[in-house]
Amino acid sequence: MKLSLVLVYGMVLVCSSMARPKITGDMIKTMAKTMIARLKKVKAEHFAMSSEISFGTDKDTPIEGLTSIVVYLGSMQVRLRVPPTHHLRQVEEDVDTLLGYLRGMAVGQSCTLPKAGSTLLKSETDFPITSYYQSLLDLQRYLEKLCLNLDKLKSC
């Protein structure tokens, strides 16, 4: 009886330690690169934009640490969900997953995270196709910048 309890307890410990791998910068980079590829595909398949339309240059959204990354991705999450659309569902899931991992890293480093929430501009709801395209473009640029600044994951 004692042996079977020890075995069960040992199996529970092994399974619980396997369930949550330690999130690393390399894992975040892999997720970001996967998302970038998916964003490019979604833009090409669902948003036929004229090359004559200028969407401006990259907004200089600083990557200061985990808190700023979580805040930015949280606002992108809101922008991608209103109004909901079928072909962005996987992108939304990717952002949710990445946010979950980053929040976990932040909690592990005792970072203070603000409450989730973001406001939308009227133009983002009045012109959803243009707004979605701009959001995808902004997210892609931000993730590309994140891949180059993985050292920021070590600070709040």
- pLDDT score at 142: 92
* 47: helix, strand or coil: coil
- pLDDT score at 112: 86
Asked if residues 36 and 144 have their Cβ atoms less than 8 Å apart, the reply is yes
Query: Among candidates 72, 75, 85, which has minimal Cα distance to 132?
Result: 85
- pLDDT score at 49: 61
Domain layout of the chain by residue ranges: 23-154
Tokens of 89: 């569902």
Query: Among candidates 53, 78, 68, which has minimal Cα distance to 130?
Result: 53
Residue 56, phi-psi category: left (phi > 0), alpha (psi -120 to 50), beta (remainder): left
CA dist 56 → 43, 59, 114, 137, 140 (Å):
16, 8, 29, 10, 14
Of the options 1.20.1560.10, 1.20.1250.10, 3.90.550.10, 3.30.470.20, the CATH number for the domain spanning 23-154: 1.20.1250.10
Per-residue pLDDT of the chain in tens (156 residues, 90 and over written 9)? 444 434 444 444 444 445 556 778 889 999 999 999 999 888 888 777 655 555 555 567 788 888 999 999 988 888 887 665 777 888 889 999 999 999 999 988 898 887 765 555 545 556 667 778 888 888 999 999 999 999 988 988
Query: Among candidates 155, 148, 64, 68, which has minimal Cα distance to 105?
Result: 155
